[in-house]
Structure 1
Amino acid sequence: MSKNNESSYLVFPWNGQIPAGETVTLRDLDVIGVGAKRRKQIEALQGAKQIILQTHEAFIPDGVRSIYDDELFRSLQWLRPLRIDKISEFNLLDEQKKIFQRVFPKTAQTLGLAAAKVRDSYLAEMEWSSWLLQDHWRYFVGYLRQRFPQQKELVDLAYWEWVQAWLEVQPFDLHTNLEKGILTVNPSLQIVPLLENNSILGKMKGMYAFVYSEKQEQVLEKPLTAAQALLLDLLQEDRKFSTEQLVEMASISEELQPNLNKTQWAEVVTDMLNSEILFQN
Structure 2
Amino acid sequence: MPPLHLIEPDTALFLDFDGTLADLAPRPDLVQVEPELVGTLRALHTCLDGALAIISGRPVAELDFFLQPLTLPAAGVHGAELRHDGEALFMPPEPGIAPLLPRLEALVARHPGLQLERKSVAVAIHYRQAPELEALVRATVADVLRGAVGLEGLPGKMVVEIKPAGVNKGGAIATFMRMAPFAGRRPLFAGDDVTDEAGFAVARELGGFGVLVGERATAATVRVTGPAALRCWLHRSAHALLERRAQRGDAPTSASTPSSATEGSP
Which TM-score applies when normalising by structure 2?
A: 0.24
Structure richer in helix, relative to its length: 1
Which TM-score applies when normalising by structure 1?
A: 0.23
Of the two structures, which has the highest relative contact order with CA contacts closer than 8 Å and spacing of 6 or more? 2
